[in-house]
Amino acid sequence: MTKNPKKTLLLILGIILVALLVFSVMKAPESPSASTTSPVKETDVQEVSGNKDLTASMSNEGTITDFSDIELENVEELDTRPATEIYTNAQEALAAIQAGAEEYDDIILEQFSLLGEDCAFCDSLYQQVISLMLKPDANEDEKAYYSEVLAISGRPENIETLINSIREASNEDDADIFAESLELALGDDNVVKLLANFLEDKNELLQESSIAAITNQGSKFAAQTLYEHTVSRKETDGYYDLGIGLGEMIPDEATLPYLQELVLKRDEYSHLAVKSLLNYGNDGVVLVFDALTNSSDPEKDKKMLVDAIDHVGYEEATMNFLKDVLADNPAPLVAQFAQDILAGFDPEEDDE
């Protein structure tokens, strides 16, 4: 049977077309699948704080591979220098304080802490701060912030303004705000002398805030003032239940010998000096154990140590010292106190 030449030609042409189609498909570029990460264009990457290094830290697949080299630029650094080194006049300083009051900015407060007498613009500045604090339409946060600026100034005249504000407050809420700021007062012994005038005040709020403010100091004079007041009032607790007084003071180094003298008295107030010494840290711990080691009256020592362990902070030096104490086979009370402290040590928790 003879084949039809037209049909044969059409068949050949069809085979050729199919071959060309297959060839073209094989040569075509593969389309990215949904599971393949496409390259990220630089214009698609948002810069972080103006830093273009973020783009460089991305792999060819468009994923961030290492954040360790990314440095954020144009990030405002926390400026904790004294205000006298940052601002040139009272207007600039006041603007900063007003801005700080909006967010209760602790960094701004630190800038205005204990500026000293060499502040050329401070007289004018603090007068304006007082005016803002006493404005009838000032809200609670503003009153608290401006009064704290006065409290931490270290200036007796500003502390006196706070004291008068507590007495003359038109309502209890304002009095409480000013009293809480007074408790944060900073300053030298002139501030302590001023506050000491109100330790017997009939205004209980003013009295307690004055005690708290003196507690906030660490000088020998502050410790003496608190101790003498405590003894005169026969307050054997020393306001400890209120979280203030000698037992809550963090002393200066120069105050340690005086506190040790109070411990060696072994009277009903010595427990306050023990707590204060322990608040200082390892050197205070050593002084307390020196007093215990040389004691011939363990019963009085036991009374001095009530709640004392709560005032020992974790320090490696303290841990090593206590181990040495135990190695010397001390008296039972001393050994028990050292063991109790060591048992409560948790370095990891303290680091957190």
Is 161 within the bounds of a domain? yes
Looking at the fold, whether 191 and 134 belong to one and the same domain comes out as yes
Q: Is the pLDDT of residue 56 over 50?
A: no
Looking at the fold, whether 299 and 263 belong to one and the same domain comes out as yes
Is 322 within the bounds of a domain? yes
Looking at the fold, whether 207 and 107 belong to one and the same domain comes out as yes
Closest by Cα among 104, 149, 103 to 125: 149
Q: Which of 170, 194, 217 is the last residue of a domain?
A: 217
Looking at the fold, whether 229 and 335 belong to one and the same domain comes out as yes
Q: Are 149 and 117 in contact (CB under 8 A)?
A: no
Looking at the fold, whether 297 and 321 belong to one and the same domain comes out as yes
Q: How many domains does the chain fold into? A: 2
Looking at the fold, whether 202 and 230 belong to one and the same domain comes out as no
Looking at the fold, whether 119 and 222 belong to one and the same domain comes out as no
Domain span holding position 346: 218-352
Is 150 within the bounds of a domain? yes
What's the CA gap between 311 and 287, in Å, rounded? 14
Q: Are 166 and 206 in contact (CB under 8 A)?
A: yes
The 10s digit of each residue's pLDDT in 86-115 is 999 999 999 999 999 999 999 999 999 999
Confidence (pLDDT) at 44:
41
Is 336 within the bounds of a domain? yes
Q: What are phi and psi of 264, to 5 degrees?
A: -70, -15
Looking at the fold, whether 153 and 282 belong to one and the same domain comes out as no
Confidence (pLDDT) at 42:
40
Q: Is the pLDDT of residue 49 over 80?
A: no
Looking at the fold, whether 300 and 342 belong to one and the same domain comes out as yes
Contacts of 236 (CB under 8 A, 6+ apart): 230, 268, 269
Is 28 within the bounds of a domain? no
Q: Are 84 and 50 in contact (CB under 8 A)?
A: no
Q: What percent of the chain has pLDDT over 70?
A: 76
Looking at the fold, whether 85 and 144 belong to one and the same domain comes out as yes
* Across 66-70, 198-202, 256-260, 324-328, least confident range: 66-70
Is 262 within the bounds of a domain? yes
Looking at the fold, whether 202 and 309 belong to one and the same domain comes out as no
Mean pLDDT across the chain: 84
Is 37 within the bounds of a domain? no
Name the pTM for this structure. Answer: 0.76
Is 347 within the bounds of a domain? yes
Looking at the fold, whether 145 and 269 belong to one and the same domain comes out as no
Q: Which of 217, 244, 259 is the last residue of a domain?
A: 217
Confidence (pLDDT) at 26:
52
Q: Which of 191, 217, 243 is the last residue of a domain?
A: 217
The 10s digit of each residue's pLDDT in 329-346 is 999 999 999 999 999 886
Confidence (pLDDT) at 72:
39
Q: What number is the average pLDDT over the span 56-73? A: 41
